[in-house]
Structure 1
Amino acid sequence: MYINTLSHYLPSEVIGNEYFTKLNNLSSEWIVERTGIYERRKAGEGENTATMAIEAVNLLLADDNVPYSKNEIDLIVGGTYTPYDTIVTVAHAVQHHLSLPDIPVVTISSACSSLLNAIEIVEGYFAMGKASKALVIVSDHNTAYYNESDTVSGHLWGDGASAMLISKERQSESDMFIKKLITGGAATSGKAIEAVVLRPNDRGVVMPFGRDVFQNACIYMPKVSQQVLQACGLTIDDLDYLIPHQANHRISLNVINTLGIPAEKLISNIQYLGNTGCAGCAIALSENRSKFKKGENIVITVFGGGYSYGAMLITI
């Protein structure tokens, strides 16, 4: 599989740490020390998971490097755990916007691992010969669900979306090759089914066992990153960049320390975007696309509440 091109959309409103200082008496220094976050984006009035996804798709298709017409897209897969509509899913909203009838349309939710599971769905459709050119969209509107007064996790969340075109066969020399993808569920580990939850009829996203999330993320992300490299006959020394799920900068630092990766190989955007959920890694890949060089190896590794995890090896 090949990523042909990608894009990202970020709401214009920036929420700095001072907002939470006024609201919850949490100092900016306290937030930065524990999370690495000093500001995040918040969807504005009239914006939601679907509209952000559509904006990301519009930016994607406006790119001069798009190698084929939108009419050649024969599969749409969306990923989100913060839907605007649980019936008309984010993928349906994008299909309607693009006026692409009679193609498979799927939306997946595996918390912050949804990006890699969405791409894995594409891999399955390609393997079965049911599609050859897919549009993947990941979008999370965390601030529609969070409880901003929650001093444990209210200050973590940001909003954003990303889109990418993926083809079964190479379309151009600038394509990024998806060399290997591994995912797994870890709901039997720790306090997986109660550590971080979003129950819409209750009070939004809550994280009663944040330490358990932290500990398991720091176990699974390095482990699956090693596995995906080893499956391709590579070692950590062959890795040029690591993009971990943007949940907490301390988790990211712990992951690279465990793997023995220097800080300059870590790609991170949580500092200025907050935790943008399943869109975070895709946004980071899009933001940094121009810096990657031919032959470089990038690993995206994720960990989601529930728990779920995964890693994907991309070769430029």
Structure 2
Amino acid sequence: MYLVRVSGYIPDAVVPNAHFSQLNGMTEEWILERTGIEERRKAQAHENTNSMAVEAVRKGLVDLPFDPAEIGLIVGGTYTPYDTIHTLAHAAQHFLNISDIPVLSVSSACSSFANTLEVVQGYFAMGKAEKALVVLSDNNTRYSDERDKIGGHLWGDGATALFVSKTRVTPNDLEIIDILTGGAGNVGKAPEGVFLRPAHEGFVMQYGKDVFLNACQYMAKVTQDILARNGYTTKQLSYFVPHQANLRITKNVARTLELPDEKALSNIQYLGNTGCAGCAIALYEHWERFQTNDLIAVTVFGGGYSYGSVLMRKV
């Protein structure tokens, strides 16, 4: 299985830390020290999860090295849906005008990047598709309360589109070597650590420390596990792309894996936590940086304590 193209969409509106200083008295230095975030992007009133996903797809079609009509599967991932019936995956299908193919959306919070690709892997293995589109989009600011001093300053918005093929298409493809996912919903404060219950309230992060500790533990472990079961060590990693939740988490996991800072790709500093789209946006930003034989691990962790890692190689 090969990742042929990654594209991304980031809203134009920038929200700096100074906004939260004015809103609720949190200092810019306090936010930066604890999260690594300097600014984040915010979708405007005319934008939503579906529209951002469509814009990411539109960008990916430019010079796409295969006919979009060959796409035989569309999988969407989000935990901040604009429409729970006509999902972001259906919006992508409508935009592409491709009929009579499987279209579905999944949610495993911020780890949906890994699970959507795992769904594609399954369809490919069953011979039900040869090429697929994965769309990931989160409109976090629509659900968050900026006055919340615990988590209101964390969130950003963004979307990405991944064009995947069962067989290699171009010399620039990333080979998806393996995907490993799991759930730890029975561990610690998983049910209440961070949650979003639209019928009652928006984002709530009651147990940030528990989320932090489990994220650091499971992200390091799943990365080590996927490397070991494919005969690699952490020293062979060229790049590590962690879930973009908190720069302190990124640095903590990188230290556990004994990776230098320059190997850990991060965009939370200027985008905020863009949910399940964050890691793929980082791949999009650094696509031209990857060289032949580079080994890349993309590792995610989500609320509800789902986690996963995708191991890739530039072939």
Query: Counterparts of 1:178-189 in structure 2 under 5 Å?
Result: 178-189=176-187
SS of equivalent to 2:221: helix
For 2:252, give the aligned amino acid.
N
For 2:43, give the aligned amino acid.
A
Deviation sequence 1:210-252 (CA, Å, 0-9, x none) = 0000000010000000011111100011101100000000000
Is 1:43 aligned to residue 46 of structure 2? no
Choose 154-163 or 66-75, whichever is displaced more: 66-75
SS of equivalent to 1:288: helix
Structure 1 CA distance, aligned partners of 2:240 and 2:175? 16
Per the normalisation by structure 1, the TM-score is: 0.99
Q: Which residue of structure 1 aligns with residue 307 of structure 2? A: 309
Deviation sequence 1:47-93 (CA, Å, 0-9, x none) = 0000000000000001x2x2211100000000000000011111011
Q: Which residue of structure 2 aligns with residue 299 of structure 1? A: 297
For 1:34, give the aligned amino acid.
R
Q: Which residue of structure 2 aligns with residue 207 of structure 1? A: 205
Give how far 1:31 is off.
Answer: 0.1
Is 1:171 aligned to residue 169 of structure 2? yes
Structure 2 CA distance, aligned partners of 1:217 and 1:247? 9
For 2:151, give the aligned amino acid.
S
Structure 2 CA distance, aligned partners of 1:197 and 1:234? 35
Q: Which residue of structure 2 aligns with residue 238 of structure 1? A: 236
Structure 2 CA distance, aligned partners of 1:188 and 1:44? 37
For 1:138, give the aligned amino acid.
L
Q: Which residue of structure 2 aligns with residue 100 of structure 1? A: 98
For 1:18, give the aligned amino acid.
A
Give how far 1:179 is off.
Answer: 0.5
Structure 2 CA distance, aligned partners of 1:246 and 1:54? 22
Q: Which residue of structure 2 aligns with residue 128 of structure 1? A: 126
SS of equivalent to 2:273: coil
Structure 2 CA distance, aligned partners of 1:241 and 1:273? 20
Q: Which residue of structure 2 aligns with residue 15 of structure 1? A: 15
Query: Counterparts of 1:23-38 in structure 2 under 5 Å?
Result: 23-38=23-38
Structure 2 CA distance, aligned partners of 1:178 and 1:300? 11
Q: Which residue of structure 2 aligns with residue 288 of structure 1? A: 286
Q: Where does the alignment leave 5 or more consecutive residues of structure 2 unmatched?
A: none
Q: Which residue of structure 2 aligns with residue 253 of structure 1? A: 251
- The correspondence for 2:224, drawn from 219, 223, 226, is 226
Contact 1:147 1:203 in 2 (8 A): no
SS of equivalent to 2:148: coil
Structure 2 CA distance, aligned partners of 1:41 and 1:50? 16
SS of equivalent to 1:87: coil
Q: Which runs of 4+ in 1 moved over 3 A?
A: none
SS of equivalent to 2:213: helix
Give how far 1:110 is off.
Answer: 0.5
Q: CA RMSD in A?
A: 0.6
Contact 1:16 1:38 in 2 (8 A): yes
Query: Counterparts of 1:26-105 in structure 2 under 5 Å?
Result: 26-62=26-62, 64=63, 66-105=64-103
Structure 2 CA distance, aligned partners of 1:114 and 1:165? 16
Give how far 1:5 is off.
Answer: 0.7
Structure 2 CA distance, aligned partners of 1:205 and 1:168? 37
Structure 1 CA distance, aligned partners of 2:27 and 2:285? 29
Deviation sequence 1:91-125 (CA, Å, 0-9, x none) = 01110111111000010100000111000000000
For 2:142, give the aligned amino acid.
A
SS of equivalent to 1:187: coil
Structure 2 CA distance, aligned partners of 1:24 and 1:279? 28
SS of equivalent to 2:118: helix
Give how far 1:188 is off.
Answer: 1.1
Per the normalisation by structure 2, the TM-score is: 0.99
Give how far 1:202 is off.
Answer: 2.2
Structure 2 CA distance, aligned partners of 1:110 and 1:265? 26
Q: Which residue of structure 2 aligns with residue 216 of structure 1? A: 214
For 1:220, give the aligned amino acid.
Y
Give how far 1:172 is off.
Answer: 1.3
Contact 1:78 1:136 in 2 (8 A): yes
Structure 2 CA distance, aligned partners of 1:165 and 1:142? 24
